[in-house]
Amino acid sequence: MFSYSLRQSFSNIFDNKELILALVKRDVLIRYKGSILGGLWNIINPLLMLAIYGFVFGIVFKAKWGVDTDKNFAMILFCGLMVHTFVAEVINGCPLLIQSNANYVKKVVFPLEILPIKVVMVSLFNHIISLAILIFFIVSMGFGFAISWLYYPLLLFPLICISLGIGYIVTSMGAYVKDTAYIVGFITTILLFLSPIFYPVSAIPEKYHVFIFMNPFAYLIEQAREILIYDNMPDISGLVTYSIFSILFLLISMKFFNKLKAGFSDVI
């Protein structure tokens, strides 16, 4: 049963959904304000990265994934990085969230719980653009559409929940510990190499698999490839179980945030 603080948080989020969308729109527009190409950079950036991966790994290194697949190595790599980038943007965007929104923090009536949601939604916007580019690239290479793609929202749900949960924790810690911004930078780099992005899990000796899957996003990266690259049905039971735990983690993180937010105005 929800505590009063959690019920109040969800009520604040629901009642201020228009404000959340307005803040997300503002952040997206501000990011490229004054640039010549503006919002087109949201499309150009992932396209450039996809081209670079294809050249470096597919042509220079002639890399192979190590499993039986006819898909381009750049697509496989980009799919994993797409998930990691979503998480990294959330983690790196939250440590200074309270300090950079001091004017909101000092307003008694402002719902502070929407600030990490704003970061997650901006990252989700960028993720959807990257997803669209990946799908366009797959189709343009002649592979066609796959029914398995319809299951991608089942993966997005736990990805969003656990990223938001981490966002609440990092936001809370960042308000009190200024070094948090530097610490999370190292963490996202570690996650990059402990995730099956540049290599398949099958390339790792089985006795070390436990260390790979200690990374909460390794499973989701593997499932993203199953759905988008290999055209396989996802592990439904696994995603359901993962979703349940991600919801519990999110609730605990929100509780943690609510415990600490009363002192935010005192430390900025």
CA 39/CA 30 separation, integer angstroms: 10
DSSP states of the chain as a string? Answer: ---HHHHHHHHHHHHTHHHHHHHHHHHHHHHTTT-SSGGGHHHHHHHHHHHHHIIIIIIIS----SSS--S-HHHHHHHHHHHHHHHHHHHHHSTTHHHHTHHHHT-TTS-TTHHHHHHHHHHHHHHHHHHHHHHHHHHHTT----GGGGGHHHHHHHHHHHHHHHHHHHHHHHHH-TTHHHHHHHHHHHHHHHSTTSS-GGGS-GGGHHHHTTSTTHHHHHHHHHHHTS-PPP-HHHHHHHHHHHHHHHHHHHHHHHHHGGGHHHH-
153-207: per-residue pLDDT in tens?
Answer: 999 999 999 999 999 999 999 999 988 999 998 999 888 888 888 888 888 888 8
Written as six digits, the tokens of 175 are: 């308000």
Model confidence at 69, pLDDT cuts 50, 70, 90, reads low
pLDDT for the residue numbered 64? 63
CB 74 within 8 A of CB 50: yes
pLDDT for the residue numbered 67? 55
pLDDT for the residue numbered 75? 85
| 112 closest CA partner among 123, 99, 121 | 99
Residues in the chain: 268
Burial class (CB in 10 A: 0-12, 13-18, 19+), 112: buried
18-40: per-residue pLDDT in tens?
Answer: 999 999 988 888 877 766 666 67
CA 27/CA 39 separation, integer angstroms: 11
**Torsion sign, CA atoms 63, 54, 234, 155:** positive
Average pLDDT over residues 46-50: 78
pTM score of the predicted model: 0.89
Model confidence at 212, pLDDT cuts 50, 70, 90, reads confident
